[in-house]
């Protein structure tokens, strides 16, 4: 696949992950994640509380509650309960993974991670790269430029 076509696919899935993040009840940061394999979305997730818990992610001090699940963990948990395999898949996540999610991504066999916002800590991406997982940052401000380029061809 050409680099331009891959970039267009990345853009489209990233826009979908951004829309999926809107499902989050978290106020401080809404994060969405998609796991894609063979051009099919095999799982999705957004940050939030575990099933059956109240949909309130922050405490009275506006700190994230310790039991809030990250979007990546939700997507990986969902695919683990399905008949799909994430081996060799790509994860699209709106914010670069933290170190804990990076460990889950490695164990899930995901081979590529695309994100559009940089998390304040970079240790998650560093661990992914150490494990040989490709990480790609896409600046969402450039989406329109990519679409314009594709339409001109």
- Among candidate residues 11, 58, 63, 72, the one labeled active-site is 72
DSSP per-residue codes, 34-59: EEEETTEEEEEEE-BPPTTS-S--B-
**Both structure tokens of 55:** 């949909």
Beta strands in the chain (DSSP E): 32-37, 40-46, 90-93, 112-115, 134-137
Q: Looking up tokens 């993974």, which residue turns up?
A: 97
Q: Residues near 124 by Cβ (< 8 Å), separated by ≥ 6?
A: 96, 97, 98, 99, 100, 101, 102
63 has catalytic annotation: no
Catalytic (active-site) positions: 72
């Amino acid at each position: 696949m050409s680099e331009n076509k891959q970039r267009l696919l990345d853009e489209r899935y990233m826009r979908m992950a951004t829309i999926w993040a809107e499902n989050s009840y978290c106020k401080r940061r809404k994060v969405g994640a998609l796991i894609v394999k063979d051009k099919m979305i095999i799982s999705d997730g957004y940050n939030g509380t575990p099933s059956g818990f109240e949909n309130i992610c922050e405490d009275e001090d506006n700190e994230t509650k310790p039991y809030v699940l990250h979007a990546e963990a939700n997507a990986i948990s969902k695919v683990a309960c399905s008949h799909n395999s994430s081996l060799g898949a790509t994860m699209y996540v709106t914010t670069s993974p933290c170190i804990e999610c990076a460990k889950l991504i490695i164990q899930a066999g995901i081979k590529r991670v695309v994100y559009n916002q940089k998390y304040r800590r970079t240790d998650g991406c560093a661990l992914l790269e150490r494990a040989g997982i490709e990480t790609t940052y896409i600046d969402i401000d450039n989406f329109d430029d990519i679409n314009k380029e594709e339409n001109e061809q």
